[in-house]
Structure 1
Amino acid sequence: MLTKPDSKLPVTVDDIRAAREVLKGQVLRTPTLPAPKLSALTRAEVWVKYENMQVTNSFKDRGAFVRLSRLDEAARAKGVITMSAGNHAQAVAYHAQRLGIPAVIVMPEQTPQVKVRNTEAYGARVVLDGETLAESQIRAEQMVKDEGFTLIHPYDDPDIIAGQGTAGLEILEDAPNLDTLVVPIGGGGLISGIAIAAKAIKPEIEIVGVESSLYPSMINAMAGQPRPAGGPTLAEGIAVKNVGNLTLPVVEALVSEVLLVNEPHLERAVNAFALYQKTMAEGAGAAGLAALLAFPDRFYGKKVGLVLCGGNIDPRIMASIMVRELERESRIARFRLTINDQPGVLGRIATRLGELGANILEVSHGRLYLDVPAKGATLDITVETRDRAHSEQVYDALCRFEGIPCRRISSAGT
């Protein structure tokens, strides 16, 4: 327990424990489980908190219910409004419906359709406005003035922070020997609540935050730096330009470091959760694992708790990520051959690939390129191989096959 609570902190561990009582029977107490396969991948001892198991598939259920449950009758009657890229939206919509409270959700125009549909399915009215969450917030605040709604802020609210902090209590109950917690950061509500709870229970534990490198908003706020923030990221759930006035002091006081992860590492992490843990993680939900992949020496040998904070990923994006990872690992390879355009050539190449144990996925002819002889054609072949070594074996064999020119090509055709 902290003997001298920091006066700058917006909530205390007692507030978080009180929020936990409010949440009993209302949200799932999700498990924190060891992940041996992720441990082998990262060389850390990894434990995962599965917040993607909540009804709306994210940790946002916690704070949303706490905040909504504490509204007075007048506020409930007028209704609530919030701005969100998706997970907070779904949580507010779902629990508002359960409590009989009208809800309006303002979402950025580029929010994935799976999140828009899910939010509407919970009975909320969705308004798409703005390119960023900051622009959506302007519309929401105007509607508060015009229509008398109560704003349910995604992160800058004591009840929200306390609700999210209940996840921290549960993590250390299930895994009390953890050295480090690695938590995604958007506006800072989740990491603030978890840090307050975890540091109160185990003062020596290290809290590490993770942001998308395209949205270094917390780092900017802490360092007073104007780094650019913007652009399309897989981790749209933490793609915010403005952090909370309440959360910033907590991060400054209790978080030892904030790391930035790039898009390839986010993709690898999403794929790793699906491949090794058989669970769905959106980009923001996988940000903690992305940090372990990006900075392996930083976490080598440590007992690390990850918060898989959300699993609302578009199925099309998920499929694309998995195929892209197969290509990164050379388990899918593409080759371009320049062949004589005559009967039997394709058959001989297919037979040779079969002998090499490569599975043909796609074949495409090109006959109109000016750098190809008039009696020739390009042949683009996509094959499935066992691993990188097998892919190289196939490539070497094709380069020696009947003197046919061959080169590897990427997805972009280069």
Structure 2
Amino acid sequence: MVHRTPCKQSETLNEWTNSEVYLKLENLQKTGSFKVRGAFNKVAQLSEEECAKGLLAASAGNHAQGVALAGRKKGVPVTIYMPLATPEAKVQATQKYGATVKLIGQSFDEAYLAARSAQLATGATFVHPFDDLAIIEGQATVAMEMLQQQPDLDTIVVPAGGGGLLAGTALAVKAIRPTVKVIGVQAENAPAIFSKFHERKGMIHFLPTLAEGIRVKDPGKVTMNIIQNYVDELITVSEQEISSAILFMLEREKTLIEGAAAAAVAAVLHKKLPFTANRVGVIVSGGNFDVAKLGECVTTSTDYVNNF
């Protein structure tokens, strides 16, 4: 039901980092993101009674498309609540997969609360974007494929928002290759998991970010428990670093990636890994980028051409 996506070595990143870097290109996945893996796995496990109630979800974009496609394949109606700031490309793609889209709130968290209220009112079956073991297990297949394609990796770098991909990666990696380090990456402007992982107290300040797909204020309880027990380290990257990673992938690797995926690439590109790594796998989580923001990337990354 999903593609086995390429795991491509980047010669440019090899030379720049003095290590071997492999890019797991989930931007080439169905719907343009890894999210379809978890959605298919969850929907496949639903009973006829649960499906008959219709599916309901909240999403910043990629989970929406995954649930919409999974629902269409199973003949189940799907309604998705998305933030008002969701890129138009993601909204249109979700609608083309047959889902009804309702735009509400300024953030994923506000859209999530609206979706939960709708669930109580309608009795629809809610498909959580990350805090569900069936979703996490589906996302774990990304890492499982990576280790089949490149079994000698010593480090895997993963973008993190709600934590489903990071938790799934950690579970898979520690079961198959326990010595492999798993590093989660968040945007500096949306560091919820980073702050909890490092037990930082006080209010977390959230700002706009190009990585809107991982701008989640309240990561899942299930995902955080797994992350705290199995992930080796959490780091953050700046907006300038994210922007330059998008441009790097477009210019040097000839592929378009979104801000969430660029966070993981940026950690390697800007040499921010906390461990010495010789063979690094980077999960390029998605490619659903609003091309209208390319100008913003160029403006933010004024030193890009000179550095790379």
> Alignment partner of 1:56: what SS?
helix
RMSD of aligned alpha carbons:
1.7
Q: How does 1:157-172 map to 2 (within 5 A)?
A: 157-172=132-147
**Please, which of 112, 128, 138 is the counterpart of residue 153 of structure 1?**
128
- Which string of whole-angstrom CA distances, capped at 9 and with x for unpartnered residues, describes residues 37-83 of structure 1? 12223333210101111120000010000111111111112101111
Q: How does 1:335-354 map to 2 (within 5 A)?
A: none
Residue of structure 2 equivalent to 1:83: 58
Moved more, 314-323 or 44-53: 314-323
Q: For 2:215 and 2:129, locate their aligned partners in 1 and report how far apart those are by CA, in whole Å.
A: 13
CA positional deviation for 1:228: 2.2
TM-score (norm 2): 0.95
**Please, which of 10, 29, 33 is the counterpart of residue 58 of structure 1?**
33
Q: For 2:265 and 2:117, locate their aligned partners in 1 and report how far apart those are by CA, in whole Å.
A: 38
CA positional deviation for 1:34: 1.2
Contact 2:155 2:277 in 1 (8 A): no
| Structure 1 unaligned spans of 5+ | 1-25, 332-386, 389-414
CA positional deviation for 1:295: 3.4
**Please, which of 89, 95, 109 is the counterpart of residue 114 of structure 1?**
89
Distance 1:131-1:323 versus aligned 2 partners, 3 A rule:
closer
Distance 1:297-1:193 versus aligned 2 partners, 3 A rule:
closer
Q: Which amino acid aligns with 2:88?
A: Q
Q: For 1:28 and 1:277, locate their aligned partners in 2 and report how far apart those are by CA, in whole Å.
A: 20
Q: Which amino acid aligns with 2:3?
A: L
Greater share of residues in helix: 2
CA positional deviation for 1:169: 0.7
Residue of structure 2 equivalent to 1:295: 271
**Please, which of 247, 250, 255 is the counterpart of residue 274 of structure 1?**
250
Task: Name which structure has the greater RCO, CA cutoff 8 Å, separation 6+.
Answer: 2
| Structure 2 unaligned spans of 5+ | none
Residue of structure 2 equivalent to 1:124: 99
Q: Which amino acid aligns with 2:263?
A: A
Whether 1:27 and 2:21 are equivalent positions in the alignment is no
Q: Which amino acid aligns with 1:158?
A: L
Contact 1:215 1:240 in 2 (8 A): yes
Q: Which is greater in Rg?
A: 1
Residue of structure 1 equivalent to 2:115: 140
Whether 1:181 and 2:129 are equivalent positions in the alignment is no
**Please, which of 182, 192, 195 is the counterpart of residue 207 of structure 1?**
182
Moved more, 303-312 or 226-235: 226-235
Q: Which amino acid aligns with 2:245?
A: A
Q: For 1:201 and 1:297, locate their aligned partners in 2 and report how far apart those are by CA, in whole Å.
A: 22
Whether 1:43 and 2:23 are equivalent positions in the alignment is no
CA positional deviation for 1:174: 0.6
Distance 1:217-1:102 versus aligned 2 partners, 3 A rule:
same
Q: Which amino acid aligns with 1:246?
A: V
Q: For 2:277 and 2:220, locate their aligned partners in 1 and report how far apart those are by CA, in whole Å.
A: 33
CA positional deviation for 1:296: 4.6
Q: For 2:14 and 2:296, locate their aligned partners in 1 and report how far apart those are by CA, in whole Å.
A: 25
Contact 2:154 2:277 in 1 (8 A): no
Q: For 1:57 and 1:122, locate their aligned partners in 2 and report how far apart those are by CA, in whole Å.
A: 13
- Which string of whole-angstrom CA distances, capped at 9 and with x for unpartnered residues, describes residues 217-268 of structure 1? 0122231523423221000010000011101111111111100111000001
Q: For 2:183 and 2:273, locate their aligned partners in 1 and report how far apart those are by CA, in whole Å.
A: 14
Q: For 2:264 and 2:16, locate their aligned partners in 1 and report how far apart those are by CA, in whole Å.
A: 14
Contact 1:34 1:47 in 2 (8 A): yes
Contact 1:220 1:226 in 2 (8 A): no
Q: Which amino acid aligns with 1:278?
A: K
Aligned-residue identity in percent: 39
Q: For 1:323 and 1:214, locate their aligned partners in 2 and report how far apart those are by CA, in whole Å.
A: 18
Aligned residues: 306
**Please, which of 196, 200, 204 is the counterpart of residue 228 of structure 1?**
204
Residue of structure 2 equivalent to 1:304: 280
Q: For 2:192 and 2:273, locate their aligned partners in 1 and report how far apart those are by CA, in whole Å.
A: 25
Q: Which amino acid aligns with 2:221?
A: N
Q: For 1:198 and 1:260, locate their aligned partners in 2 and report how far apart those are by CA, in whole Å.
A: 21
